[in-house]
Every structure is written in C-alpha cells, then in structure tokens.
Structure 1
Amino acid sequence: MSTRPGPFDRADFPFALRLVTEAAALASYDWVGRSKKEEGDGAAVDAMRKALGQININAVVMIGEGEKDHAPLLYRGERIGQAALGGEPEIEIAVDPIEGTTNMANGVDNSMAVFALAPRGAMFDLGPSFYMDKLVLPAAAKGKVDPTWPVKKKLEALSAALNKPISELRIFVLNRKRHHAMIKDIHDAGARTMLQENGDVAGAFMALQKGQNVDALFGTGGSPEGVITAIFTKALGGEFFGRVDPQGEEESVKVKEFGLDSGKWMSGDELVKSDDAIFVASGINSGPLCRGVTIEKGFARLHTVILMARTGARYDLVSRVPR
C-alpha cells in the first residue's frame, strides 16, 4: 500500500503508543502470581482501552478480545481514540492486553502487554477465527520452506537454509494436545523442541533472533497473536505463514460462514498488506523480548519495545512512573 495516513508520518507517533502497553502492563502487575487470570486480564483490558482513548487517533479494532474472552471492551469493530468520531477510521489495531495470561497469573516468566497497528485496509479480516496455525522462520530461511510440506521436509529445508544439522534444530511449539502428533514427527525427524504452555508471540520472536536457541515456530495459537506476529516478523526480516485453524465445531461453522478457508496458508504480507505497521510490547513478567515490571522505592520501572515494519528499527524504552 502506498498511501500513508497522517499519524504514520509523524516522527513522534510511535513513542506515544508506549503509553498503551505500559498502562496494561502496570494494571496487570497487581495480579501477577495471584492465580487469577480473568481478574488480571480484565484489569489489562480496561487500562489498555482507557489509554487508547486518550491518544489522538481515529482507529478501529480489527482483532481484539470480545467473544472468545467474554470481553466488553476492545472487541472487533470498536472505534478507538480521541478522533474516533471524526469520520472513517485511519488506523486498524490488533490487541492482546496480556500475551501469556497464565504465566502472569502463575507468576512465571514470559508475559507482556502487546498491540499492533497499521493503516486502514491493511489487516486481513479474520472475522470469527480464534485460532491460527503458524509457521515462523528466520531471515536465512526466507523463501526456502513451504508451509504445506510435511514436518520432515520442512526440517530438511530449514536445516539446509541454516547450514545446521537437523539434530541441532530446535522448534518452538505450544505444549497442547493438538500438537502431540506434530511433536512426535519433529522428534522422529531428529530435531529438538522447546515446549511451552503459553506465549507463542515470544516464541516467534525467539525464532527470528540469533542467540535465542530457537530456529522456527510451528503450530496453532491465537489468531490475534498471528496478525501481531506477522507485523514484527516484517520488522525483523523473517517470514510468517498462517492459516485459520478452528478448534471446535462451533468455530468451524462460523469461520466457514464468514468465507475463510482453513486449508489456505497466507503469507505475512497477505495478513498485513502495509509496511507502515508498528508493533509495541511492554513486559509484565520478563521474557525474551521485554524485561518485566519492577517496583523500587515507590516507582514502577517498565520496559517497552517498539518495532517498525518498514525500517526494521527497534526502540527499547524504559519508563519510571510513581507507584
């Protein structure tokens, strides 16, 4: 897409966005380690929605909370921003107020507040899709692995692209029953896995960065996380593929009625058609992308990462706010 809405032309625009994820991270921090997922997620949703409403944007939620999480805010189609009443929206957003909700509730590493935005018309409309099968590859493997291939062939191609023996490949997979057959195929082919209960946004980031001991991400996670991941994959020079993967009869019917084909793999450029896209994340509990919230002498310290799809620029920002 060649037309760039006004906000994306402002040099200071990405930095104003940190207030959105910082608000969600700080609100959810009160629930870290208290084993109350819904309360923590609700606090993050409320804080993120309030912060978005205070930014001078005219946006619409394309991928949000809503039906799957029984959330009354940040639902698909909701208008957001101080300028939201001033005509057609200029911006589309995808939100995940807590990526790694279970990790937050259990007080273990790897949870963060995340959102992404792009010009209007850029994000593929996933409608009622909750789940997406994903393949995330580092830059060195770009164009060399087909998502439709069986697991062994993918691993052989990845091994050749990275000049690394299959026995040393490590694949990030969410440890879910739906993946048990795929995990067996990975092991039978001779490769290793990193099995995590939650957090495939962080898993994708690890797959895209050298030194993280992960070579790719395979498997099904949330659809919002898929679109968000497609944006920062652009920024980091890797390759993303996704297909809607309904996890139940009700979702299957809704996805089919909406016109989505669960057999079709889409590239990251199909899911997010503009390079004028921005990814923002603030840590709740520390992970491979962001350090977590820490409290020191009446102040909260927050770490936010901003990634720009067009330039690949990364900004690491630290805030110290009264607590």
Structure 2
Amino acid sequence: MNRDIILLRAVEVAALATHKYIGKKDKNLIDQAAVEALEVILKNEKDFRLKVVNGEGELDEAPMLYVGQILGDLQNPDAKIYDMSVDPVEGTYPAAYNFAGSVAAIAISRENTQLQLPEMYMEKLFVSDEFRDLINLNKGIVEVVKDMQIFSGRRDLKCIILDKPRHNNIIEKLSEMGVIVRMIQDGDVLAAIDVVNGEADFVYGIGGAPEGVLMAALSIASGCKMQSKLVHYKTIWENEKETELRSQIENAWLEKHNIDENTILDDLDLISDPRARFFAAGITAGGSLKPIDYKNGKFYVNAFMASHGIARNIKSVYDIKKVNALKPGIKSIFDKYKR
C-alpha cells in the first residue's frame, strides 16, 4: 500500500483511539491510547521503517515513542529507513479537558535529515507562502510584520499566538499595529495548519522545540516558511526546581551542535529534505481542522497531509464493523478503546 496512505491512517487511528478518554482529565491515558494505535498500525507494514528522531514523553514519564525506536518492517533489513518526528497527541492537556488544540501528528523525511532537538523552548515564526521571502527573525517580529504589511498592503494581517504571559507585550504591540490576533491555549502545530489552510497569515510565539520539527516539516511540505531560535528553559522558568538540570542538558546539546540562543534555524536546518511529509488528524482540533466525532458505530475524523507543495484536507469515516472485518489488525484498537 502507498506509504502516505499508511501514515495518514496511522494518525487517524491514533486520534480514534483517544476518543474514549477525551475530557477524562488524564493526559497519560490519552497519550497511551494514541501511542499504542500508532504502534499497531505501523508494526505490520512492509517495505519501509521509521526511526523516531523526535519523540515524546521523555521528561514526564508519559507513554512514549522514544528516540531511536524503529517502527515498521523490522523483519526486512533492506526496507528503506525514514526519519520520523512524532507527537501522538500534540496538546495532551486540551485533549484531556476537551477543549480545542489537540491533534495526532507525524513528520517523515529521508534518513539522517532531521535534527534531534532537546526538550527546551523555541521561538517560532511560521508564515504563509505569500510572505515566505520576507521572513527574518534577526529583524525581530515587529519589523518582520511591518514588512509583511507593506508588502501586502494590509494592516489587518491575521496572527495566531499562544495565550501565555510571555507573549503579553508582543500581543499588545501587534494589536496596536492593526494585526488581528487570535489567541490559543495550546497547539502551535495546529495553528500552523490553519496558516496553510488560509485561516491566518502567520503563527508566532515561544513553544516547545520538538514540535518545531513538526512545524518545519509542514512548512517545507506546504511551501510556507518557518524560522526559529532556541530559548533556554530558565528564560521562561527562572526559579523552578528543575531549571538547573534542564540548563545543563540544554547547554551540552547546544555546545555539541555549535548552536546558541541567537542562531536562526531555518525550516531546512531542522529537516534538510525538501521532500519532507507531514500528517495530522484532529482530536479536539480547532480552526480549520475539525474535532473527531462518533455516531452510530462510525467515527468521523478530519485529517490533513502535505507534501511537495500540496496540502490536502481529508474527511474520513470509519465504519467500525466494516473496518473490523476487513482490517483485523485495527480491530484490537477499536475493541480496546471503544467509547
């Protein structure tokens, strides 16, 4: 079967598996369901393998797809290997509490093309294809937005930004400039999908670094553009008990890769493959990607994929009885995680 269809199905079934626990206020149960679904879908596929470069859960002991794990055709040493960054539930908190902001997401590229990032923060600017030649984080976000306004002849650009105290000043400045600011609680990967789908002009803010690789894949695959800079944990959480240990880990990584907090990382610095692919499926979703739904034995899921400058929004219906009969490998997931 076509590899892209398999990966699309993987994120869709990961989303379906979480449905049982949406709103149950347990992030780990949601994550565990999605992880198991991804493993079930991918473990029996033939002719390709996926190496996890950026996984999830290392710090909080959540169920995880760990860095270095291999999924796919493990019995075939000649099966082609791809790098994979994965977040089975990007936005576990909104999924656990049933508000907008969660998706299942995968990014793949050729082997040894993805940068493995530490669990630190990252300043990210993701712009639509209209503004891809104007992006320049060295100038700062305000000057870049001014350039975008002049180029487009519009003051009322649409921005999506995480509603966090660290962004209060920039939210105020952008609003004063005439920018329409849409604030979200979680989910900058989901917000970037909205930019690709024309719901916003850009996403800006400081969020998780590993998620930046997913956004970079989306940027490359869709023809948009992204730049980023790593941000130390202590910059955001100066007095937390884990700050010192986190800083030691971050500094070791930065020294190893000859990168510092002033280094501008282009999307192709994070994934050096112009043929990178991106896949996502809505859980509680939001914006242009709708949340998962269930009715009368059928799951309704909205998914998204991008590659080679083509973005596809896909509505799928999973009839449980029919799927169980035709795809017994998936039946175990439906049986275990039925609502």
Indicate yes or no: 2:252 matched with 1:257.
Answer: yes
Give 1:94's aligned residue.
85
C-alpha spacing 1:300/1:145, structure 2 compared with 1 (3 Å): closer
Deviation at 1:140, TM superposition (A): 1.4
Task: Tell me how far 1:286 sits from its aligned partner.
Answer: 4.2
In 2: Cα distance, 1:301 partner to 1:88 partner: 33
Q: Which amino acid aligns with 1:13?
A: R
2:195 is equivalent to residue 207 of structure 1: yes
Cα shift readout 1:89-130 (whole Å, capped 9, x = no counterpart): 62110111112222212222342211111110111222x233
Q: Deviations over 1:276-317 (max 9, x none)?
A: 221111121242343322222122222322211x24252625
**Alignment correspondent of 1:130:** 120
Name the counterpart of 1:3: none
**What is the RMSD of the two structures over their aligned residues, measured on CA atoms?**
2.2
What secondary structure, in the 3-state scheme, does the structure 2 residue paired with 1:230 have?
Answer: helix
TM-fit CA distance, 1:15: 0.6
CA distance in 2, matches of 1:252, 1:87: 40
Residues 87 and 77 of structure 1: CA distance in aligned 2, closer, same or farther (over 3 Å): farther
The corresponding residue for 2:318 is 320
Amino acid at match of 2:56: E
In the alignment, structure 2 segments of 5+ residues that lack a partner are: 235-242, 321-337
1:234 touches 1:312 (CA, 8 Å); kept in 2? Answer: no
Distance across 2 between alignment mates of 1:228 and 1:188 = 31
CA 1:304–1:191: 2 relative to 1, 3 Å = closer
Which runs of 5 or more structure 1 residues have no equivalent in the other structure? 1-9
CA apart distance, 1:85: 6.7
- Give the 3-state SS of the residue equivalent to 1:206 in structure 2: helix
Give the AA of the match of 1:291: K
Cα distance between partner residues in 1 of 2:224 and 2:201: 11
TM-aligned CA deviation for residue 246 of structure 1: 2.7
**CA–CA separation in structure 2 for the residues paired with 1:151 and 1:209:** 22
Deviation at 1:184, TM superposition (A): 3.0
Q: Equivalent of 1:62, from 50, 53, 60?
A: 53
Alignment partner of 1:162 is 2:152: yes
2:212 to 226, 230, 234: 226
Local SS of the residue matching 2:138: coil
Distance 2:21 2:51 in 1: 28
Q: Per the alignment, do residues 254 and 85 of structure 1 end up closer, same or farther by CA in structure 2, a change over 3 Å counting?
A: farther
- Between the aligned partners of 2:80 and 2:70, the Cα distance in structure 1 is 8
- Are the equivalent residues in 1 in contact too, given 2:232–2:247 (CA < 8 A)? yes
Contact kept in structure 2, 1:139 and 1:239, CA below 8 Å: yes
CA contact (8 A) 2:135 2:225 kept: no
Q: Could you tell me how far apart the structure 2 residues matched to 1:65 and 1:150 are? A: 30
How many residues are aligned here? 307
User: What's the CA shift string for 1:181-219, capped at 9, x where partnerless?
Assistant: 322332344433211110111211223332x1x221111
Letter in 2 for 1:138: S
Q: 1:77 to 1:321 in 2, by over 3 A?
A: same
Find the aligned partners of 2:75 and 2:120 in 1 and give their Cα distance.
26
Poorly superposed stretches of 4+, deviation over 6 Å = none
Q: How do 1:129-208 and structure 2 match up within 5 A?
A: 129-165=119-155, 168-208=156-196
* 1:34 pairs with 2:32: no
Helix, strand or coil for the counterpart of 1:30? helix
The residue that corresponds to 1:75 in the other structure is 66
Q: Shift of residue 255 of structure 1? A: 2.0
**Conserved in 1, the CA contact under 8 Å of 2:289 and 2:302?**
yes
Residue 325 of structure 2 corresponds to which residue in structure 1? none
Distance 2:137 2:265 in 1: 9
Range with greater deviation from structure 2 (232-241 or 41-50): 41-50
1:236 is the counterpart of 2:229: no
1:16 equivalenced with 2:6 (yes/no): yes
Q: Distance in 1 between matches of 2:209 and 2:224?
A: 19
Query: Structure 1 residues 204, 152: closer, same or farther in 2, change over 3 A?
Result: same
